[in-house]
Amino acid sequence: MTSRLSAITLNTFREAVRDRVLYNFIIFVLLLVASAPLFSQISIGMERLILVNVGLSSISLFGVIIAIFIGIGLVSKEIEKRTLYTILSRPVRRWEFIAGKYFGLMLTLVVNTGLMTLGFYVALLISDRAFKPADAAMLIAVYFIVLQFLMVTAITLLFSSFSTPIFSAIFSFALFAIGTFADDLRNFAALAQGVTKWLATGVAYVVPNFASLNVISRVAHDQHIAGKLVLYNTVYALLYSAAVVIVSVLIFERRNLK
Amino acid sequence: MFAIEVQYLSKDYAVGFWKKQLRPALKNLTLTVQTGETFGFLGPNGAGKTTTLKLLMGIIFPTSGSATILGKNFHDPGIKRRIGFLPEQPYFYDYLSAPELLDYYAILSGVEQAERKRRIPRLLEQVGLSDVGNKQLRKFSKGMLQRVGIAQAIVHDPEVVFLDEPMSGLDPLGRHEIRELIQNLKDAGKTIFFSTHILSDAEALCDRVAVLHKGELRGIGVMNDLRSTTAGKTEVIWEGPVALQAVARLTLESHVTGELVRVKVASDALDSLLEGLRRQRARLVAVTPLHGTLEEYFLSKTSEEEPVRA
């Protein structure tokens, strides 16, 4: 089982690398490093704040776009091109295929994020001329971004397991947008009355809470991130992603692959 | 023990957007394939051949019925180590090279690393791809891809090989190469379940064939027996078209070219025809018994209404 799972994972990663997906980090680094001196000219004394905000937000956005655009084809492309036929005619369980695809895309995103983070720190070094102790806290924001990718990838995989790529992309982006404003949805649920309150509370708990994973602004202002938040976010992201991947497997296990 | 035993296998597809209606793609298919046999699964396009193979591979699920492969239920994951499958017009991961693709499939089939290192170069040589190196599959021709397809189906040395339209879309040279590869598998004692609508391929390779039409099994049997069911005709050629009028009632079909007359006659009417020609003083040129062809059998089965069970 382990060898089959790791083979599918590595093949998914290899596909992304050979399709030059990771090249996007070069564009990211070039843009960030080239624009770092500009920040100091347009916002005197605030260049570091802007650089951190722009850098980390870009890492998040680039990753979400990759997660969704590769994720929507993870299963549907294999069905459409019939490569899945030669996989399922082997001793590969359907859950192994889904899990392998998920881990493969996550591996791609982690490597991509690692490279972009490296580029981000280079830009920070160019801007500040030296590293500060507060710079280490940026890694917590990056870690939360990776947790966000865990959830976005799981959601995209879920839609990909039963829907067409276009609908999967629309649903995934919609859920990502709603999840970004999860705190507002919870506040609305708290203020609502009757059936609306029940409905809003239900939706607020079902949609992914990306708001709590976004600490970019806080690290940019050198605010402390509590260890408890790191723990809660880790547990939440892992449980949410696992639940969504399990639902994907349950759907895929019963699906006729025409 | 049969290599493959299919029992009352059926598949209905729901069609329509609002009002779903069931469209049967396969109806109560029952057949057996002996170990070591090359079995041709024939039928026109849309007959249900690919549906049957997808069911046996676990790609789709049956509406009813079941099957065993090498004595085990066809959904048993363990059995998939012992079978190989080439889908129709296969597409492979085109960013991989042929050795990478075969290595990937061998890992998925549970082949150990040492065995993979030994087997893959030998297999590439066997399918005539030893010189492709690390060229990505996106640069391969259709014939080369089909050879890669055969290689991936047998990379784990399976006992039963399922091939779905393996010659489809290939030029005569490509078809010949694939036919040779299948013949090699047959010589190596593999059981081959081979779907096609190209009858000459089935005629050249298969021990037994089944004819499927509109999801129903229309005929099944040993190749020579099937051909003999449509035999029993003789072709007679003579000079002198005037004699034709006297014997026309005995002939099944006739063609006149200048002075030459060519007719087909049922073998039991041959003596009467020859007697008639002697009386007309026609000069006999040739009398040739005709053997039944698979095509004749196929056409007779795909135009009948009644299905058969085997």
Q: DSSP string covering B226-254, please?
A: HHHHT--EEEEEEE-GGGHHHHGGGEEEE
**Percentage of residues in chain A with pLDDT exceeding 70?**
95
Selecting from A18, A82, A90 the residue whose C-beta is nearest the C-beta of B80 gives: A90
For residue B86, what is the nearest residue in chain A, using CA coordinates? Answer: A86
- Across B144-162, average pLDDT: 92
Cα(B173)–Cα(A201) distance, integer angstroms: 67
Q: Do B90 and A89 touch (CB under 8 A)?
A: no
Q: Is residue B300 part of a domain?
A: no
Check whether B306 has a pLDDT greater than 60.
no
Confirm if A118 and A128 have CB atoms less than 8 A apart.
no
- Across B194-214, average pLDDT: 86
Same domain, B209 and B97: yes
Q: Write down the pLDDT at residue B28.
A: 92
Same domain, B206 and B256: no
Q: Do A8 and B96 touch (CB under 8 A)?
A: no
Same domain, B32 and B68: yes
**What count of other Cβ atoms lies within 10 Å of the Cβ of residue B216?**
21
Determine the structural domain holding residue B271 and report its residue range. Answer: 232-290
Q: Write down the pLDDT at residue A45.
A: 66
CATH at B256: 3.30.70.980
Confirm if A29 and A71 have CB atoms less than 8 A apart.
no
Q: Write down the pLDDT at residue B268.
A: 84
Same domain, B211 and B261: no
Confidence of residue B170 (pLDDT cuts 50, 70, 90): confident
Give the phi and the psi of residue A246 in degrees, each rounded to 5: -65, -40
- Across A23-50, average pLDDT: 73
- Across A163-175, average pLDDT: 90
The model carries a pTM of 0.83
Confidence of residue A257 (pLDDT cuts 50, 70, 90): confident
Same domain, B141 and B264: no
For residue B102, what is the nearest residue in chain A, using CA coordinates? Answer: A86
Distance to chain A for B301, nearest Cα, Å: 28
Same domain, B183 and B202: yes
Which of the pair, B198 or A166, is modelled with greater confidence? Answer: A166
Confidence of residue A150 (pLDDT cuts 50, 70, 90): very high
Cα(B125)–Cα(B69) distance, integer angstroms: 29
Distance to chain A for B11, nearest Cα, Å: 11
Same domain, B172 and B247: no
Q: Is residue A226 part of a domain?
A: yes
Check whether B293 has a pLDDT greater than 50.
yes
Check whether B291 has a pLDDT greater than 70.
no
Q: What is the DSSP letter of B70?
A: T
Same domain, B123 and B177: yes
Q: Is A20 exposed, middle or buried (0-12, 13-18, 19+ CB in 10 A)?
A: exposed
Alpha carbons within 13 A on the beta-carbon side of B179: 18
**Interface subset of B 72-111, CB within 8 angstroms of A:** 77-78, 80-81, 83-85, 87, 89-93, 95-96, 104-105, 107-110
Q: Is residue B296 part of a domain?
A: no
Q: Write down the pLDDT at residue B309.
A: 47
Selecting from A93, A254, A258 the residue whose C-beta is nearest the C-beta of B77 gives: A93
How many structural domains is chain A composed of? 1
Q: Is residue A258 part of a domain?
A: no
Interface test with B, best of A11, A12, A89, A108 (most B CBs within 10 A): A89
- Across A133-155, average pLDDT: 92
Selecting from A3, A83, A87 the residue whose C-beta is nearest the C-beta of B91 gives: A83
What is the sign of the dihedral through the CA atoms of B141, B142, B146 and B152?
positive
All residues at 6 or more sequence positions from A13 whose CB lies less than 8 Å from its CB, including other chains: A104, A107, A108, A111
Q: Is residue A87 part of a domain?
A: yes
Selecting from A15, A82, A91 the residue whose C-beta is nearest the C-beta of B81 gives: A91
Q: Write down the pLDDT at residue A232.
A: 95
**Contacts with B83 from chain A: Cβ below 8 Å:** 89
Q: Write down the pLDDT at residue B55.
A: 94
Confidence of residue A122 (pLDDT cuts 50, 70, 90): confident
**Contacts with B52 from chain A: Cβ below 8 Å:** none
Selecting from B13, B61, B78 the residue whose C-beta is nearest the C-beta of A91 gives: B78
Check whether B310 has a pLDDT greater than 60.
no
Check whether A10 has a pLDDT greater than 90.
yes
Angle, helix B142-154 to helix B98-108, in steps of 10 degrees = 30
- Across A237-256, average pLDDT: 94
**Percentage of residues in chain B with pLDDT exceeding 70?**
94
Q: Write down the pLDDT at residue B49.
A: 92
Check whether B231 has a pLDDT greater than 70.
no
Determine the structural domain holding residue A205 and report its residue range. Answer: 2-253
Q: Is residue B196 part of a domain?
A: yes
What is the sign of the dihedral through the CA atoms of B286, B292, B294 and B297?
positive
Interface test with B, best of A14, A90, A108, A255 (most B CBs within 10 A): A90
Q: Is residue A235 part of a domain?
A: yes
> In this predicted structure, which of B13-17, B235-239, B267-271 has the lowest mean pLDDT?
B13-17
- Looking at every residue in chain B, the average pLDDT score rounds to 86
The kind and range of the H/E element at B163 are: strand B160-164
Distance to chain A for B251, nearest Cα, Å: 50
Check whether B217 has a pLDDT greater than 80.
yes
Confidence of residue B230 (pLDDT cuts 50, 70, 90): low
A-B interface: how many C-beta pairs under 8 angstroms? 77
Q: Is residue A145 part of a domain?
A: yes
- Across B170-192, average pLDDT: 87
How many structural domains is chain B composed of? 2
**Contacts with A3 from chain B: Cβ below 8 Å:** 107, 110
Q: Is residue B96 part of a domain?
A: yes
- Across B24-46, average pLDDT: 91
Same domain, B283 and B215: no
Which of the pair, A192 or A40, is modelled with greater confidence? Answer: A192
